Amino acid sequence: MSDSEILLEGDIFEEPEDFRPPKPDSHFAKYERKYCIPEAEKGIKEINLRLVGKSPLWGHLLWNAGVYTADYVEKHAAEFIKGKRIVEFGAASALPSLLCSLNGAEKVVCTDYPDPDLLENIRYNVDHLASPEAQKLIDVEGFIWGNDTSEISAKIGGTGKADFLILSDLVFNHSEHHKLLKSCKKLIKPLDGGKARTGGKCLVVWSPHRTKPKMIENDFKFFTDAKEVFDFDVEMVEMVHWDHPMFPEEAQETEEIRKRVYCYLLHPTW
Phi, psi angle pair for 167, to nearest 5° = -125, 100
Highest mean pLDDT among 61-65, 160-164, 242-246: 160-164
Q: Residue 186: exposed, middle, or buried by beta-carbon count in 10 A (0-12, 13-18, 19+)?
A: middle
Rounded to an integer, the average pLDDT of 57-84 is 88
Tell me what pLDDT residue 59 has.
46
Q: Residue 164: exposed, middle, or buried by beta-carbon count in 10 A (0-12, 13-18, 19+)?
A: buried
Tell me what pLDDT residue 69 has.
98
Rounded to an integer, the average pLDDT of 98-122 is 97
Rounded to an integer, the average pLDDT of 116-126 is 96
Residue 63 has pLDDT above 90, yes or no: no
Residue 98's closest CA among 115, 81, 76? 81
Q: What is the pLDDT of residues 5-45, one digit of tens each?
A: 444 455 544 555 554 555 667 889 999 999 999 999 999 99
- Please give the Cα distance from 78 to 35 (Å, whole number): 12
Tell me what pLDDT residue 124 has.
97
Residue 87 has pLDDT above 90, yes or no: yes
Tell me what pLDDT residue 108 has.
98
Rounded to an integer, the average pLDDT of 119-123 is 96
Stated pTM of the model: 0.89
- Please give the Cα distance from 201 to 265 (Å, whole number): 6
Residue 37 near residue 75, CB atoms below 8 Å: no
Lowest mean pLDDT, pick from 52-66, 126-140, 179-193: 52-66
Q: What is the pLDDT of residues 215-258, one digit of tens each?
A: 999 999 999 999 999 999 999 999 999 999 877 788 899 999 99
CATH 3.40.50.150 fits domain 28-267: yes
Q: Which residues contact 26 (CB under 8 A, 6 or more apart)?
A: 50, 51, 52, 53, 121
C-alpha pair distances (Å), 45 with each of 32, 34, 36, 37, 67: 6, 8, 9, 11, 15
- In the chain, the amino acid numbered 150 is S
Rounded to the nearest 10 degrees, what angle do helices 177-187 and 213-228 cross at?
A: 30
Q: What percent of the chain has pLDDT over 90?
A: 82
Residue 187 near residue 165, CB atoms below 8 Å: yes
Length of the chain: 270
